[in-house]
Structure 1
Amino acid sequence: MVNLVSGGLDSTLVGVLAHEEGLHTHPLFIDYGQHSAEMEWETCQQVHAHLELSTPVKMDLSGFGRVIHSGLTSDELNVKEDAFTPGRNLLFLLVGSAYAYQVGASNISIGLLAERFSLFPDQRNEFIEKAESAIEVALSRRIRVLTPLAEFSKADVLKLAQDKGITGTYSCHVGGSEPCGNCIACLEFDFEKGG
């Protein structure tokens, strides 16, 4: 299984759950030109080593963010109000599936939470189903898109991650050494913690 990873809590939890199930994973980190790429990649490597998960591979697609602007890729846009990055999750699924094809895996996983918490169209079940179909046509091979956290809220993720001893992840969209406290990821995390 190719596990799309970011160094954040959701994708790390997916990796831990897969490891516990005895699944062989190929963690794939995608630098799509996001502000936080450097911190995410550094954290991703550290967390995977600490938890004795498979070593992640980095794919550099940073040119995407230089052309496709959002609050996650451009200093000229607001990190919270302009967070939607058009095509990002489709890009993730496409390159994740291409990597799965290359390494002989039949599944990829993405850490999307329950649809009722979705903010953007590319976080919903309809998108996943249609992307999976398009990828099968494009590759002439079925690569299943797994969303193991599809029934989870962020509070559920936080509790299970705590139970599994997962620490040291990074989820801020700004990319500083300390969480900004203002982006969607930080606000979601603080809200669910009761902060």
Structure 2
Amino acid sequence: MSVEQESAIVIFSGGQDSTTCLFWAKKKFKDVIAISFDYGQRHKLELECASDICKKYGIEHHILDMGLLNQLAPNSLTRDTIKVDEKAPKEGTPNTFVDGRNLLFLTFGAIFAKQRKIRHLVTGVSQSDYSGYPDCRDIFIKSLNVTLELSMEYPFVIHTPLMWIDKEQTWELAYDLGVFDIIKEETLTCYNGIKGAGCGSCPACTLRKNGLEAFEQNKQREC
């Protein structure tokens, strides 16, 4: 069976990367289901944004409860009392890194997928601009893919459309998919919980803004 005849589960936050992957998956697979996670994140607007996008574009959406992650891994994305790192630390991971998040998200996504007899999982991780997050690396994804198959005796395939591209190329992919304006106006990437262009100064906004400016400059040169 070709992938065009199969279904896929998209790990979906409502941010730039996962929304780009959502529409990438809609082009590639017959059916797409989006899964989001409530892990006590700092901004519930993230879940509202994910829900709004799925409702607007007719995508089946599920929100799974992962509250325990908030208790186990306190960080600046789950605690108002911890200020978001403006720059990556000289040693260790940024305090926006949530230990075990992608591991758990993909594991729970795989369990959900198997019950639906779906083998394809899509996630928006990228090694090109991974901000020091170890669970965004290709080696982790490949390792987890094998582990999931061994743990459930099921042939999973984890797709990472953004793994080897930077933010400028991610904007270009959104443009090629015909969803540039959706990504620009309707997604929430900002660590301070502001949709669209965001606060403009947190690390997530800076990365997004720099990529957008580079993409738009290149488009102007082409015209």
TM-score past 0.5 threshold = yes
Aligned to 1:82: 95
Where does the alignment leave 5 or more consecutive residues of structure 2 unmatched? 1-7, 86-93, 215-223
For residue 65 of structure 2, the aligned residue among 55, 60, 64 is: 60
| Aligned Cα root-mean-square deviation (Å) | 2.0
Counterpart check, 1:3 vs 2:10: yes
TM-score in terms of structure 2 length: 0.78
For residue 192 of structure 2, the aligned residue among 159, 162, 174 is: 174
Counterpart check, 1:126 vs 2:126: no
**Partners of 2:202 and 2:42 in 1: how far apart?**
12
TM-score in terms of structure 1 length: 0.89
For residue 21 of structure 1, the aligned residue among 25, 28, 42 is: 28
Conservation of the 8 A alpha-carbon contact between 1:66 and 1:73: no
Shift of 1:75: 2.3
Shift of 1:193: 2.7
Structure number, greater radius of gyration = 2
**Partners of 1:7 and 1:15 in 2: how far apart?**
9
Please state whether the residue corresponding to 1:194 is helix, strand or coil. helix
**Partners of 1:47 and 1:63 in 2: how far apart?**
26
Shift of 1:10: 1.2
For residue 69 of structure 1, the aligned residue among 55, 71, 74 is: 74
For residue 109 of structure 1, the aligned residue among 122, 125, 136 is: 122
Shift of 1:176: 4.8
Aligned to 2:104: 91
Shift of 1:191: 2.0
Please list, as runs of the form range in 1=range in 2, the aligned pairs for 1:149-160 lying within 5 A after superposition. Answer: 149-160=162-173
Size of the aligned set, in residue pairs, is: 192
Shift of 1:177: 6.2
**Partners of 1:177 and 1:194 in 2: how far apart?**
18
Q: Which has the higher contact order (CA 8 A, sep 6+)?
A: 1
Q: CA 1:183–1:66 in 2, change beyond 3 Å: closer, same or farther?
A: farther
Conservation of the 8 A alpha-carbon contact between 1:16 and 1:53: no
**Partners of 1:60 and 1:182 in 2: how far apart?**
30
Q: Percent identity?
A: 27
Shift of 1:55: 2.4
Where does the alignment leave 5 or more consecutive residues of structure 1 unmatched? none
Answer with 39-48 or 175-184: which moved more: 175-184
Which letter does structure 1 place at the counterpart of 2:113?
Answer: A
**Partners of 2:150 and 2:115 in 1: how far apart?**
16
Aligned to 1:145: 158
Aligned to 1:192: 211
